[in-house]
Amino acid sequence: MIPTFALLAHDSADDIVAWHQGKNINVRRFLHDVQTLAAALPPGRHMLNACSDRYQFAVGLGAALITRKISLLPPNHTPDMVRQLRELRPDVFCLADAPCTIDLPMVAFQDAMAPHGANTPASGSCDVPYLPGNQPVADVFTSGSTGAPLPHRKTWASLVYSARAEAQRLGFSREGDSRPFNIIGTVPPQHMYGFESTVLLALQSGAAMHGGHPFYPADIVSAIQVLPRPRLLVTTPVHLRVLLASGLELPAVDLVVSATAPLSPQLAQTTEARLAAPLIEIYGSTETGQIASRRSAQTAQWELFPQVTLTPHDGRFWACGGHVENVMPMNDVLEPIDNHRFLLYGRLDDLINIAGRRSSLAYLNHQLNSIEGVLDGVFFMPDDSDPDAVVRLTAFVVAPSLSASTLHAALKDRIDATFLPRPLVLLDALPRNATGKLPREELQALARQHAAPSHPLDGSDAG
């Protein structure tokens, strides 16, 4: 028999599911909104959920689930990405909660809800939908940071098990007098990390999500302040670095979760000291979802989620078990410590070999970002299409108070001269996406724009 799982795990119809536009939303209201939206959806089986409001995204997810539609969660909504979606899923339509130019049949969230928005039942029981575990829920696309975005199908069982495993790892408890967490996320719900740790975690642990998507430090502080404790901040290293450097008075949180990029021990320790809360780092991928965690201020070792295993084969490690339904290759260099713990050294395609010397982009990026005055920076290895060409690394750096020559001298003290960037390009900002990642196509475009001159530093101050 195929197991079924509830849409949400809250105990009472009056439990809070979300904080939205200054009001709390209980289970009864959430289910009313889900049913209302479901009745307004067109017949197409595939839905691009473009809602930027996290609560409205969750309503869209619920409506898609009970009408057996599959949510498409691509890394962006560029015209090229939308064309790919139309080719992959010709019946796709878009659900949006703000005016947009996405070239798809459109369902406006507010228009769909308007006729019935005031008819929420004030009391009485409400039936929580149960869904088969093998029901396809979402096609989640890779970020594009290592190539073209690719879709990966997620079932309801895999997503529920993943959310439950994260809740257990984070120490969420629904027993005794413990209060449910209120979750603030700086990452969009369309990204696998944001999807798991802000939407699914709330629905499957009895927690409540903040409906907004705060991005700038002042917005993050405001979002934290309006929620009661205990408070969980789900964020990224980029957001943490900017938040801590903002000079703002930071409100108390009770737990911080970070993912999408490696977190240095120094940043983890500073975060815990400034926010007076433990920080848990999550490791995973779009293909596998979250599979491990660590408290980065205290250890470099990652601990696998329950029942997830890593097995070596063909020069890489493969993940399976627990919520990982299919055996999936990991694109990172891992070193097992035992059956449950491992060390992470960077991506397989992160390793570089120049003139017989080896390093990794992760190591070089760490050294670059450790220089005082560097706000953001990244090394880039161009595609080596000419076997006779001399491979030269490029670095893109945000450092308003430093010159390229000063940065070059600081790097020379930290890394082998073989890996010094040629050129080193100063920019006002790096083209990071909403989760703080740098899509490779964006870095390729920058590299073409700032092709290396004959001397390593010539023209390197170009922004």
The pLDDT of residue 370 = 85
pLDDT at 456 over 60: no
Contact 379, 361 (CB under 8 A): yes
pLDDT above 70 as % of the chain: 89
pLDDT tens track for 398-412: 999 999 999 999 998
pLDDT at 65 over 60: yes
Residues 58-78, mean pLDDT to the nearest whole number: 95
The pLDDT of residue 333 = 86
User: CA angle, 267 as apex, 261 and 272 as ends, to 5°?
Assistant: 115
pLDDT at 251 over 50: yes
pLDDT above 90 as % of the chain: 65
How would you label 292-327 residue by residue, b for 16+ Cβ within 10 Å and e otherwise? bbbebbeeebbbbbeebbbeeeeeebbbbbbbbbee
pLDDT range class, residue 177, cuts 50, 70, 90 = low
Identify the weakest region by mean pLDDT among 80-89, 171-180, 266-275, 418-427. 171-180
pLDDT tens track for 211-230: 999 989 999 999 999 999 99
Task: Report residue 150 as tokens.
Answer: 């690719």
Task: Report residue 286 as tokens.
Answer: 């779009």
The pLDDT of residue 227 = 96
The pLDDT of residue 356 = 60
pLDDT range class, residue 18, cuts 50, 70, 90 = very high
For the entire predicted model, the pTM comes to: 0.82
pLDDT at 116 over 80: no
Residues 41-68, mean pLDDT to the nearest whole number: 97
Q: What is the rounded CA–CA span in Å between residue 277 and residue 179?
A: 17
Q: Any idea how long the chain is?
A: 463
Which domains, from first to last, does the chain contain?
4-346 (3.40.50.12780), 355-449 (3.30.300.30)
pLDDT at 445 over 80: yes
Q: How far is CA 131 from the centre of its chain?
A: 25
pLDDT at 352 over 60: yes
The pLDDT of residue 35 = 95
pLDDT at 169 over 50: yes
pLDDT top residue among 292 and 414: 292
Identify the weakest region by mean pLDDT among 48-57, 143-152, 240-249. 143-152
pLDDT range class, residue 107, cuts 50, 70, 90 = very high
- State the average pLDDT for the chain: 88
